[in-house]
């Protein structure tokens, strides 16, 4: 039973090294913070290349996929949808500096 605490302790010490690694040269770390109101289920967002329409070349997305690019017509709470009055932090991701 001594193995379990040792493994748990090792995981806790190494997790920050894995989770918070730096981006390679020429890239920047990006994080998105989404704060919901009383209608968190209405939130849907995408990170896209500049000039792309919703759903075209999506790099990352979050929120309620039932809302998606078509808007709030489909308001059912789905797995991954956001709760009301909550702040979510998504990422971090490494993106190329100067890219649009």
pLDDT, tens digit (0-9, with 9 covering 90-100), for 68-84: 888 765 556 666 689 99
- Domain with 27 in it: 22-96
Specify the number of domains making up the chain.
1
Prediction pTM value:
0.68
For 10: left if phi > 0, alpha if psi spans -120 to 50, otherwise beta; the answer is alpha
- What length is written for the chain? 100
80 inside domain? yes
d(C-alpha 22, C-alpha 24), whole Å: 6
91 inside domain? yes
6 inside domain? no
Rg (CA), the chain: 18
pLDDT digits (tens, 9 = 90+) for 44-72: 899 999 999 999 999 999 988 888 888 76
39 inside domain? yes
CA distances from 84 to 29, 77, 95, 97 (A): 27, 11, 29, 34
62 inside domain? yes
12 inside domain? no
């Amino acid at each position: 039973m001594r193995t379990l605490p040792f493994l748990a302790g090792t995981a806790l010490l190494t997790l920050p090294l894995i989770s918070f690694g730096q981006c390679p040269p020429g890239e920047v770390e990006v994080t998105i913070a989404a704060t919901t109101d009383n209608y968190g289920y209405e939130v849907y967002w995408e990170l896209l290349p500049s000039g792309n329409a919703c759903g075209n070349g999506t790099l990352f997305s979050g929120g309620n996929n039932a809302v998606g690019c078509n808007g709030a017509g489909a308001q059912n709470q789905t797995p991954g949808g956001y709760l009301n009055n909550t702040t979510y932090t998504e990422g971090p991701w490494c993106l190329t500096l100067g890219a649009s």
